[in-house]
Amino acid sequence: MFKALLLDKTDAGVTAALTELDDARLPAGDVLLGVEYSTLNYKDGLAITNRAPVVRQWPMVPGIDGAGTVLESTHPDWKPGDRVVLNGWGVGETHWGCLAQRARLKGDWLVPLPAAFTPRQAMAIGTAGYTAMLCVLALERHGVQPGDGDVLVTGATGGVGSVAVALLSRLGYRVTAATGKTAEADYLRRLGAATVIDRAELAAPGKPLQKERWAAVVDAVGSHTLVNALAQTRYGGVVAACGLAQGMDLPGTVAPFILRGVTLAGIDSVMAPMPRRREAWQRLARDLDAALLESMTQEIGLADVVDAAQRLMNGQVRGRIVVRID
C-alpha cells in the first residue's frame, strides 16, 4: 500500500483526497519509482481545483513532476537504486503522476538526476524551472546576446518567471520583470531583475506596433500580455511563449512578424525530445544559483497539497512549491 493524492469525478463534481492505494492499481510501466519529492505546478493546480480540463482519465493521481529512486525496472537504461527525474509526458493527465509515494512510469520518460542536485532541489526546479531553461535555450538559439538589450520576463513571480529571472541575470542579461504583485519587487530584484514593472502596462489591448523595448521576451502569460510584448520587441528579436496565465488567445496582428522580423518561439515542455531535456537539465546544473533557488522555494507535505493548489490558483503563491512525499 502507498499514500497518494487521488482525484476522482462523480456526479457531484471532482474530489481530491489523500488516500491509500494498493500497488496493483498502478498503471502499466517498466519502472517503479519511489517518489521522494514532487512539486505543485500551475497545471497541477488546474487539475486539482478542476479549473480546466487537464485530467483526461479518471480516477487520476496528479503530479506532473517527480524525483526519487528506482525500486524496480525492466527497462535497459535503469536499475534499482538509480536516482531519476520525471517531467511531463502526460503524467498527471493521462497517466498516474507523482503526488504519491510510488509511481509506475515508462523508462523512456526519465532523466538522470544531475549530480549537482538533490531530489528536493530538482523538484524546486520542476517543470517550471525546466521550462524556463528551455526558454533561455530558445533565446540563445536565435542569437540573443546579453549586450543586445533588456529581456522581459512576464509572470515574473511565478515558478517559470522566477527561475527565468534568476537564470537570465546570472548569464549576464539585463532583466525587466513584469508582475501584478508590486509588493514582491524586492524579491524579484534579489533574483536579479534590474527593473520591475507593473503587469498592467501589458495586460490591456494595445497598438499592433509599439515602442521597441525588448531584445527578447520570456512570456508565461499569453493573451494581451503576449501580444503587447510582441509589439514592443525590437527588430529581429525573439519571444519565447510558454504559458497562458492570462489566457490562451492571441488577439494581435502579424505586424511584429512582417515589419520587425520578430520571432515567436513556442516552448513545449511536456513532449520535448530527450536530447533537449538532457541539455536543459545539464544547463540548469551549471547556470542556476542554488542559493537563489532555495530563496524562491517553499516546502509542504503531501497532505497540504489541496490547500496549496487553491492558493496557487488564487495568485497567492510566489516562486516554487516543493512537495515532500513522506
CATH number at residue 130: 3.40.50.720
**Do 82 and 20 share a structural domain?**
yes
**Do 130 and 109 share a structural domain?**
no
Whole-number pLDDT of residue 315: 87
Predicted confidence (pLDDT) at residue 53 exceeds the cutoff of 90? no
Q: Is residue 241 domain-resident?
A: yes
Q: Is residue 163 domain-resident?
A: yes
Q: Is residue 95 domain-resident?
A: yes
**Do 190 and 142 share a structural domain?**
yes
Quick check: 85 and 67 in contact, CB under 8 A? yes
**Do 109 and 132 share a structural domain?**
no
Whole-number pLDDT of residue 254: 98
Q: Is residue 279 domain-resident?
A: no
Q: Rounded to two decimals, what is the model's pTM? A: 0.93
At residue 38's C-alpha, the angle toward residues 36 and 42, to 5°, is: 180
pLDDT tens, residue by residue, 136-152: 999 999 999 999 999 99
CATH number of the domain that residue 103 is part of: 3.90.180.10
Single out the residue in 222, 250, 266 at which a domain terminates: 266
**Over the chain, what is the mean pLDDT?**
96
Whole-number pLDDT of residue 220: 96
**Do 301 and 247 share a structural domain?**
no
3-state secondary structure string, the chain? Answer: CEEEEEEEEECCEEEEEEEEECHHHCCCCCEEEEEEEEECCHHHHHHHHCCCCCCCCCCECCCCEEEEEEEEECCCCCCCCCEEEEECCCECCCECCCCECEEEECHHHEEECCCCCCHHHHHHHHHHHHHHHHHHHHHHHCCCCHHHCCEEECCCCCHHHHHHHHHHHHCCCCEEEEECCHHHHHHHHHHCCCEEEECHHHHCCCCCCCCCCEEEEEECCEHHHHHHHHHCEEEEEEEEECCCCCECCCCCCCHHHHHCCCEEEECCCCCCCHHHHHHHHHHHHHHCCHHHHHHCEEEEEHHHHHHHHHHHHCCCCCCEEEEECC
- Give the domain range for residue 171: 126-266
| Phi, psi of 96, deg, nearest 5 | -55, 135
pLDDT tens, residue by residue, 218-267: 999 999 999 999 999 999 999 999 999 999 999 999 999 999 999 999 99
Predicted confidence (pLDDT) at residue 23 exceeds the cutoff of 90? yes
**Do 16 and 99 share a structural domain?**
yes
Q: Is residue 275 domain-resident?
A: no
Grade residue 11 by pLDDT with cuts at 50, 70 and 90.
confident
pLDDT tens, residue by residue, 82-127: 999 999 999 999 999 999 999 999 999 999 999 999 999 999 999 9
pLDDT tens, residue by residue, 174-213: 999 999 998 999 999 999 999 999 999 999 999 999 999 9
Grade residue 52 by pLDDT with cuts at 50, 70 and 90.
confident
**Do 152 and 70 share a structural domain?**
no
Whole-number pLDDT of residue 275: 95
Task: Quote the number of domains for the chain.
Answer: 2
Grade residue 13 by pLDDT with cuts at 50, 70 and 90.
confident
Quick check: 138 and 265 in contact, CB under 8 A? yes
**Do 172 and 79 share a structural domain?**
no
Q: Supply 319's cell numbers.
A: 516562486
Grade residue 273 by pLDDT with cuts at 50, 70 and 90.
very high
Single out the residue in 226, 246, 266 at which a domain terminates: 266
| Phi, psi of 123, deg, nearest 5 | -85, -20
Cα atoms in the 13 Å half-sphere on the side-chain side of 2: 23
Q: Is residue 90 domain-resident?
A: yes
Whole-number pLDDT of residue 253: 97
**Do 145 and 31 share a structural domain?**
no
Q: Is residue 284 domain-resident?
A: no
Q: Is residue 134 domain-resident?
A: yes
**Do 92 and 39 share a structural domain?**
yes
pLDDT tens, residue by residue, 290-312: 999 999 999 999 999 999 999 99
Quick check: 29 and 106 in contact, CB under 8 A? yes
**Do 250 and 148 share a structural domain?**
yes
Quick check: 48 and 305 in contact, CB under 8 A? yes
Whole-number pLDDT of residue 10: 86
**Do 173 and 50 share a structural domain?**
no
Predicted confidence (pLDDT) at residue 70 exceeds the cutoff of 90? yes
Q: Which residue has the higher pLDDT, 53 or 20?
A: 20
Single out the residue in 222, 247, 266 at which a domain terminates: 266
